[in-house]
Structure 1
C-alpha cells in the first residue's frame, strides 16, 4: 500500500493503492508494476503508459468502469485528486441540506471541460448517483467521452461547445437547472508557456528535455489566452447571465495568488455568497472556489425541492 496523506475522508484512495486488488481486477496492470526502494509495489509515474493503466485499474476496481481508454496525447487525470473534488462538492451541497449529502439522479451537475477521460462524471455518478452533463470544445474529447459512455452503458449527456469563447451559452438550455457546475480550467497562458511547463516538469523528474508529459494534455486542456485567471474571470462574468440556472458555480484554482483577484471579480459580479475550499493530496495543496447568486435560505429551499422530488 502506498500512503497518500490528507485526502478527503470518503475518498476510496485515502489509504493508498491496493495493487493486489488492482492487479486482480485488471491483470494487464501487473506488467507495469515495479518495487520502490522500500520494497512496496508501485508503478513508474514517469511512464505515461503506466499511469494510464493504473487509471484503468482504479476506475474498474473502485467505480465499476469496464471500458476506459484515451486517444493519444489527451490529458490523463490523477484519479485521487479528481475524486476529492467530487466529495468536497458533495459537502458543499450538504451545508444547505441539513448536513445531509444529496444522492440520486435529481442532482444535476455540469462539468465544463469534461475532457476525453470523462473522469468527473464517471466518479460522481458512481459515488452519488448524480446526473451529469459533460461539455468540451474539443471534438476529439467529445468523441472519446461518448465512446466511454456508450461502451459502459452510461447515461451522461455530452455536449460539444462549438463557440470556445462561450462557457455557459449554448450549453445551459432555458429549461435546465444545475445544482453544481465544476471545472478544471486551463493553467497556462499560451502554448509556449505550456511547453515550458512540460519541460520543467521533466527536468524536475530527472528526465532531461522532453515535449512529452506523463499525464498528457491537448492545447485546450493546458492553455488559454491570459491563463487560468483570465479563464476564471470569463467564467464568473458569464455566470451572471445564468444566475438562476445554477445553484453553485465552482472551479479549481491551481495558483493561490489568483484567489485575491478572483475575490474582487466575484464581488463585482454581486454574488450572494462565495467560498474557497482547500484540498490536499500528499505534499500538494489544491483548492476550488464556489459562488452562488442564491441566498442561503433559497439554496436550502432548492435542495429541499430536490429531496421532495426524490422521495416522490
Structure 2
C-alpha cells in the first residue's frame, strides 16, 4: 500500500478535522485548541483530556452522539482509524450482498472488547444502521457502555463476558446470527511489556518517563498472556464452534509479523476463506484479518434471513 494512502473514501475524516464546525457543535473544545507552526487549528494529542474532548466533538458532529464520556484511565481511541475498520467491514460484507453496501438493523455485528468508549457500535450504527452487540470482560467498561446507550437512547445490546479465557463462548447465544464480528485485541503479552511500550511512546513524545498512557487503558485493554497472537488464535479456535452462526469473523492485527502464525492457525481450523485487509492513515498502516467457514455460494443467505 502506498505510504501516502488515505483513509477509506467513505470516512468522514479523510480531509482532516473541521475545527470550526466541531467547536460550533461543542464549544468546550475551544479551550483545548491551539495553532500549529503553519497556523492551522489543532489540539495537543499528548493531552488526554484534549483527545477526549475532540472525540466527544467528533462523535456529536459526525455521528449524532449527544452524550459521550469514559471513566478516567480507560482507553480513549482515535476516531478516524476506528471508522476505517467499520467501512472496510462494510465492503467485505458487500461481496456477499450483490455488491451492495449492507445497511439497516437486519445486519448484526458483534464487537468483542467493546470497551468503555463503545466506539465501534456508535460509529457503525450511525453510518450503516447495523445492530451491534458489544461484549466486554470489564465491569467498569460495561457500566460506561450502558450509560452511553441509555443517555443516547440507543438500541445496542451489551453483554458481559464472565470468563476471560473465552472469546465467543458464553456471549454468542444459540439463536444468534451475526454477519460480522470485530475486535481490537490487547496486543502486549504482559504488564511489563505494556509498561515498556508506554515508556517508548512517552519518550518519543519528548515527555520522559511516565506511568500514564498516552490514550489511557486498563490492563485488559492492553495486554493478555501471549499477546495478540495467542488471543486471536484462541478466537480462531473458538470461532469454529459458531461456524454456522457468523458470516465473517475479524480482528485487528497490530503487527505485520503476527500474520503468518495466525494464517497457520486459520489453515489448521480449515476455514473456507480468509483475508488480510490493509488500512492506512497517513504513513501508518494497520490491518485486520478476516475468516469465514461459510462457502462462497452460501454467503448470500445471510442477507436473506438465513444461515449455513
> What residue number does 1:310 align with?
none
1:55 matched to 2:55? The reply is yes
> What residue number does 2:73 align with?
73
SS in structure 2 at match of 1:201? helix
* Structure-2 separation of matches of 1:304 and 1:141: 34
1:184-241 per-residue CA deviation (whole Å, 9 max, x = no partner) reads 0001000111111011100001110011122110000000100010100000001011
> What residue number does 1:35 align with?
35
SS in structure 2 at match of 1:150? helix
Alignment map for 1:198-237 (pairs within 5 Å) = 198-237=198-237
> What residue number does 1:97 align with?
97
1:15-49 per-residue CA deviation (whole Å, 9 max, x = no partner) reads 00000000000000000000000000000000000
User: Does the Cα contact within 8 Å between 1:182 and 1:251 map onto a contact in 2?
Assistant: yes
Deviation at 1:5, TM superposition (A): 5.4
User: Does the Cα contact within 8 Å between 1:51 and 1:214 map onto a contact in 2?
Assistant: no
Deviation at 1:96, TM superposition (A): 1.4
Alignment map for 1:184-199 (pairs within 5 Å) = 184-199=184-199
Alignment map for 1:164-183 (pairs within 5 Å) = 164-183=164-183
> What residue number does 2:87 align with?
87
5+ long unaligned stretches in structure 2: none
* Structure-2 separation of matches of 1:51 and 1:165: 32
> What residue number does 1:309 align with?
none
**Change beyond 3 A, Cα 1:13–1:95:** same
5+ long unaligned stretches in structure 1: 307-312
User: Does the Cα contact within 8 Å between 2:198 and 2:214 map onto a contact in 1?
Assistant: no
> TM-score if structure 1 supplies the norm length?
0.96
* Structure-2 separation of matches of 1:251 and 1:198: 23
> What residue number does 1:277 align with?
277
* Structure-2 separation of matches of 1:217 and 1:280: 23
User: Does the Cα contact within 8 Å between 2:91 and 2:101 map onto a contact in 1?
Assistant: yes
SS in structure 1 at match of 2:248? strand
1:256 matched to 2:256? The reply is yes
SS in structure 1 at match of 2:247? strand
* Structure-2 separation of matches of 1:160 and 1:81: 25
* Structure-1 separation of matches of 2:5 and 2:274: 27
Runs of 4+ in 1 over 4 A off after TM superposition: none
User: Does the Cα contact within 8 Å between 1:86 and 1:120 map onto a contact in 2?
Assistant: yes
SS in structure 2 at match of 1:133? strand
